[in-house]
């Protein structure tokens, strides 16, 4: 599968259609993204055909096989092979050597992740990240949602209360005081995504912020 020069739509490749890979592929397809999926299981590939025509059953993940499936044309490739560490590492290396700009690999342990990072891949730890999300929700009544972007950067949704009248993004000091970027504000049933220094914030609003874990913790302590 090749992209023409006129096409600018991102192409995603997903290798390994376990629960992690399947959920990722399905969610991406629901947003209208163009995806290529690969797995050794004919049953999993057949299930993936419900949301993409570019689903391939493969006997391995050599560079030759990945090339035949069009992985070299993908802008981002996510490798969801976590349990078979040797295959995960080899597949990651092959995708990188094929010139894929962004390779994200699932890791089953810190040691596994360290090897993947040395190869040049971004690493995700699905099980650990779910545990972090749960812990954050259990220990803070203000946190509504929590997403780990990388080892140090998170996206967190806070419900604000008792912040005072006539408050704005600038007055609260999200960026200047806490080093956070406000992504969205939910006011009643309205979601505001065009955020400026003078965007108003009222009691009961929910704010979605992005920043380092240290700065998010600092902001949480202040409210």
What CATH number is associated with residue 157? 3.30.70.1450
Domain CATH for 43: 3.40.50.720
Average pLDDT, the chain: 85
Tell me the pTM: 0.61
Mean pLDDT of 193-219: 88
Compute φ and ψ for 103, nearest 5 degrees.
-120, 125
| 16 and 115 co-located in one domain | yes
pLDDT of amino acid 4: 47
CA-to-CA distance for 98 and 101, rounded, in angstroms? 9
Contacts of 60 (CB under 8 A, 6+ apart): 40
Residue at 185 is within a domain:
yes
**Owning domain of residue 148:** 129-222
pLDDT in tens, 32-51: 889 999 999 999 999 999 98
**Alpha-carbon distances, residue 51 vs 13, 34, 63, 197 (angstroms):** 14, 10, 25, 41
Select the more confidently predicted residue: 95 or 211. 95
Mean pLDDT of 73-92: 93
pLDDT of amino acid 5: 44
CA-to-CA distance for 182 and 125, rounded, in angstroms? 25
């Amino acid at each position: 599968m090749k992209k023409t020069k006129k096409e600018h739509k991102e192409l995603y490749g997903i290798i390994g259609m376990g629960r992690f890979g399947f959920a990722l592929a399905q969610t991406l397809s629901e947003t209208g993204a163009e995806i290529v999926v690969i797995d050794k299981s004919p049953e999993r590939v057949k299930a993936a055909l419900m949301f993409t025509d570019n689903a391939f059953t493969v006997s391995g993940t050599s560079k030759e096989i990945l090339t035949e499936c069009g992985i070299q044309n993908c802008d981002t490739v996510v490798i969801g092979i976590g349990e078979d560490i040797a295959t995960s590492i080899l597949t990651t290396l092959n995708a990188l050597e094929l010139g894929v700009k962004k390779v994200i690999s699932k890791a089953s342990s810190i040691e596994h992740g360290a090897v993947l990072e040395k190869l040049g891949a971004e690493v995700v730890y699905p099980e650990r990240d779910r545990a972090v999300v749960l812990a954050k929700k259990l220990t803070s009544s203000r946190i509504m949602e929590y997403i780990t972007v990388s080892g140090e950067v998170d996206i967190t949704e806070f419900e604000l209360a008792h912040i005072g009248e006539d408050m704005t993004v600038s007055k609260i000091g999200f960026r200047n005081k806490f080093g956070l970027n406000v992504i969205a504000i939910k006011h009643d049933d309205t979601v505001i995504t065009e955020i400026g220094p003078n965007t108003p914030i009222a009691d009961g609003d929910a704010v979605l912020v992005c920043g380092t874990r240290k700065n998010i913790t600092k902001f949480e302590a202040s409210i």
